[in-house]
Amino acid sequence: MYSSTEYGTNLLAHILGEKQKFSFPKSIHATADCLKVCNSDYNSTMLDYFAGSGTTGHAVINLNREDNGKRNYILVEMGDYFDTVLKPRIAKVVYSDNWKNGKPVNRDSGVSHCFKYLRLESYEDTLNNLLFEDNPARDELLAGSESLREDYMLRYMLDVESRGSQSLLNIDGFADPGSYKLMVKKPGSDEYTYRNVDLLETFNYLIGLRVEHTACWQGFEGQFEREKDPELPEDQQTRLVVSGWKEDAGGKIPSKGSFRQSNNGPWWFRKVEGWVPKDSGNPNNGQKEKVLIVWRNLTGDIEQDNLMLDCWFKANRISTRDFEFDTIYVNGSNNLPNLKLEGDNWKVRLIEEDFSKRMWSADRL
């Protein structure tokens, strides 16, 4: 049962359909028994930070099969075989508990299972995404002095000239959160490709959000007009409004056609709801702060962008009726604080500001 050749190497070869994909995998039975010895109960979470071929994850899945448990696993691996061995193995053993030459022996032993994998930015990726301005005069001066070049690079170039690089958080890229990209090295090769960065997920981790609901992206279109506003200065006598909005007892309701969902609309919104511990030093005391995160794209017309945000905010507030968030995050400058009603206590924070602060703060944990 504990033979690493029979229940490690040969087992993995049958699952993947190929030999020599990974050297010296552990016996699945030895790993499962180790988990049992550790008193892993029905709801335990197993952490393996040298995951290798994924034997620990496989063992957890098998244990859950035996007793209908709800154990979870966290696997960490930096080798290229993550894509060629670990991930395919987990996907296959979920589908069937018995494999031979890469094919399932039975198809009725699959389990309901969901796993998420995160690819972290590497040190090399960070360096490859640094951008520096082209300055021939500077380069010529630095070429004449090695000590000056080193001092310049460490004390100025990396700190000042590289600002705005994607790997150092390019704030301008937050205008279209779904299109933030980094150039990354493909696993197992010297080829590079551009990959989307999940800013939403990253920000959730940075603030420690316990996610309760993530909405789909919603597209919107709007029609605008200008109306006179006696409260504005004489040289600014009109303000932009969305056509057709009318007052109602519950707030402002958009009439049909003036503000509506449209897959082809130029404005997109996505909301994330959840909570963070009220006391970060004692996160399990049951005290929570409810959080709403609003991601949107910016068209470059700040007046229209913020007016559409106001409309989206009001429409969602009316539909939910219960508005108990403590903190609201939104990307891009906005007017949301002006929409507070009497008795509201929520505060608005800029995503870019907190993202940058938490990403680079050494004591954020």
Residue 124 confidence (pLDDT): 67
- Within a domain: 115: no
Query: Is the same domain home to 87 and 25?
Result: yes
- Within a domain: 116: no
CB 7 within 8 A of CB 27: yes
Per-residue tokens: 82? 């993550």
Query: Which structural domain range is residue 74 located in?
Result: 5-104
CB 90 within 8 A of CB 115: yes
Single residue among 196, 216, 249 that ends a domain in this structure? 196
pTM of the model: 0.76
Residue 58 confidence (pLDDT): 97
Q: Identify which has the larger pLDDT, 48 or 342.
A: 48
Tell me the average pLDDT across 36-42: 81
Per-residue tokens: 365? 């944990």
Tell me the average pLDDT across 274-282: 90
Q: Residue 164: pLDDT above 80?
A: no
Q: Residue 123: pLDDT above 70?
A: no
- Within a domain: 39: yes
Query: Is the same domain home to 15 and 161?
Result: no
Average pLDDT, the chain: 83
- Within a domain: 110: no
Query: Is the same domain home to 175 and 212?
Result: no
Per-residue tokens: 180? 């933030």
CB 192 within 8 A of CB 184: yes
Residues whose CB falls within 8 Å of the CB of residue 43, separated by 6 or more in sequence, listed in order: 69, 70, 71
Query: Is the same domain home to 315 and 206?
Result: yes
Single residue among 76, 104, 132 that ends a domain in this structure? 104
Instruction: Please state which of the ranges 6-10, 78-82, 186-190 shows the lowest mean pLDDT.
Output: 186-190
Query: Is the same domain home to 186 and 207?
Result: no
Split into its structural domains, the chain has a count of 3
State how far the Cα of 24 lies from the Cα of 35, in Å rounded to an integer: 20
CA torsion sign for 116, 120, 125, 129 is positive
Residue 96 confidence (pLDDT): 94
Per-residue tokens: 242? 């969305």
Per-residue tokens: 315? 């429409």
**Most confident segment among 86-100, 131-145, 314-328:** 86-100
Instruction: Please state which of the ranges 43-52, 78-87, 131-140 shows the lowest mean pLDDT.
Output: 131-140
Q: Residue 116: pLDDT above 50?
A: yes
- Within a domain: 206: yes
Query: Is the same domain home to 147 and 71?
Result: no
Per-residue model confidence as pLDDT tens digits over 200-253: 999 999 999 999 999 999 999 988 888 877 776 766 678 888 887 665 555 545
Please report, for the domain that includes residue 28, its CATH number: 3.40.50.150
Query: Is the same domain home to 93 and 205?
Result: no
Place of tokens 């930070």: 49
DSSP 84-112: IIIHHHHHHHHH-S-EETTEES-SS----
- Within a domain: 264: yes
Residue 133 confidence (pLDDT): 64
Query: Is the same domain home to 237 and 348?
Result: yes
DSSP 24-90: SPPPHHHHHHHHHHTT--TT-EEEESS-TTTHHHHHHHHHHHHH----EEEE---STHIIIIIHHHH
- Within a domain: 118: no
How many C-beta neighbours within 10 Å does residue 16 have? 19
Q: Residue 56: pLDDT above 90?
A: yes
Closest CA to 197 of 216, 184, 210, 188: 184
Query: Is the same domain home to 353 and 204?
Result: yes
Residue 73 confidence (pLDDT): 95
Query: Is the same domain home to 204 and 299?
Result: yes
Single residue among 161, 181, 196 that ends a domain in this structure? 196
Residue 12 confidence (pLDDT): 95
Percent of the chain topping pLDDT 70: 83
Tell me the average pLDDT across 139-156: 71
The amino acid at residue 337 is: P
1 by Cβ neighbours in 10 Å (0-12 / 13-18 / 19+) ranks as exposed
Per-residue tokens: 64? 């859950």
Q: Identify which has the larger pLDDT, 2 or 253.
A: 2
Residue 364 confidence (pLDDT): 47
State how far the Cα of 182 lies from the Cα of 198, in Å rounded to an integer: 11
Q: Residue 331: pLDDT above 80?
A: yes
